[in-house]
Amino acid sequence: MNEQIKVRISEEEVNARIAEIAAQISEDFKGEEILAVGILRGGVYFCTELTKRITVPVILDFIEASSYGDGTQSCGQVKITKDLIEDIAGKNVIVVEDIVDTGRTLSLLLENLRKRNPKSLKLCTLLDKPERRVVEVPVDYNGFQIPNEFVVGYGMDYAQRYRNLPYIGVVEAE
Ligand code: PRP
């Protein structure tokens, strides 16, 4: 391999921030149940670490989607490659994602989920790269805002590698 990974956000910082978000969600949904929807594959580590720390009842489900279409257009289509098992109608749904970049995937996915009539629908992302935004997406819970650099770890990959790093790093060519 011809690259090195430099730590950008340490494991301790990531975990501390996840605990804060989990506390906020637990407070916001006091007395209610939530249905956490992790987005495969990138959102899987954040989703499990987050839901472990939420103190209200949690139902866990996953969905896998890919967006496609003309790269210069703000509208495209989302292809659900693995759908939810649960019926989300009437549920408090929190979509849990690793990163919001252009916003295309999430805006289309949220539109798809909204049609299933959840009681509420929130978006929680570990990272937000606002500089790259092409489509507006309402981010309800955000771990860290980051500049436009390529990050890996905590679910995020570089050619499918490094998802399992317990911290967020940047790829540096050797
Ligand atoms: C990443 C990430 C988001 C999406 C964000 O997924 O997990 O779903 O891209 O980009 P956008 O805001 O520009 O739409 P990716 O398609 O890389 O799949 P993965 O989660 O399996 O790595």
Closest-CA residue, ligand 1 atom 10, reads: 101
Alpha-helix runs per DSSP H in the chain: 11-28, 44-52, 104-114
Q: Which atom of ligand 1 is nearest to the CA of 66?
A: 16
For strands 34-40 and 92-100, give the pairing.
parallel
CA–CA separation, 114 and 8 (whole Å): 34
pLDDT digits (tens, 9 = 90+) for 96-152: 999 999 999 999 999 999 999 999 999 999 999 999 999 999 999 999 999 999 999
- Compute the residue count for the chain: 174
Binding site membership of 163 for ligand 1 (Cβ less than 6 Å): no
Tell me: pLDDT of 70 over 80.
no
Q: Please give the angle made by the CA atoms of 68, 47 and 165, to the nearest 5 degrees.
A: 90
pLDDT digits (tens, 9 = 90+) for 77-86: 788 999 999 9
- Distant-in-sequence, close-in-space partners of 141: CB < 8 Å, separation ≥ 6: 21, 24, 25, 94, 122, 123, 124, 125
Please give the pLDDT value at position 75.
Answer: 54
Q: What is the pTM of this model?
A: 0.94
Q: How far is CA 67 from CA 18, 38, 71, 76, 170, in A?
A: 27, 16, 10, 7, 24
Binding site membership of 103 for ligand 1 (Cβ less than 6 Å): yes
What phi and psi, each to the nearest 5 degrees, are found at residue 108?
-70, -40
Binding site membership of 118 for ligand 1 (Cβ less than 6 Å): no
Compute the distance from residue 114 Cα to the ligand 1 centre, in Å.
19
Closest-CA residue, ligand 1 atom 8, reads: 105
Binding site membership of 128 for ligand 1 (Cβ less than 6 Å): no
Closest-CA residue, ligand 1 atom 22, reads: 42
What phi and psi, each to the nearest 5 degrees, are found at residue 98?
-80, -45
Confidence of residue 73 (pLDDT cuts 50, 70, 90): very low
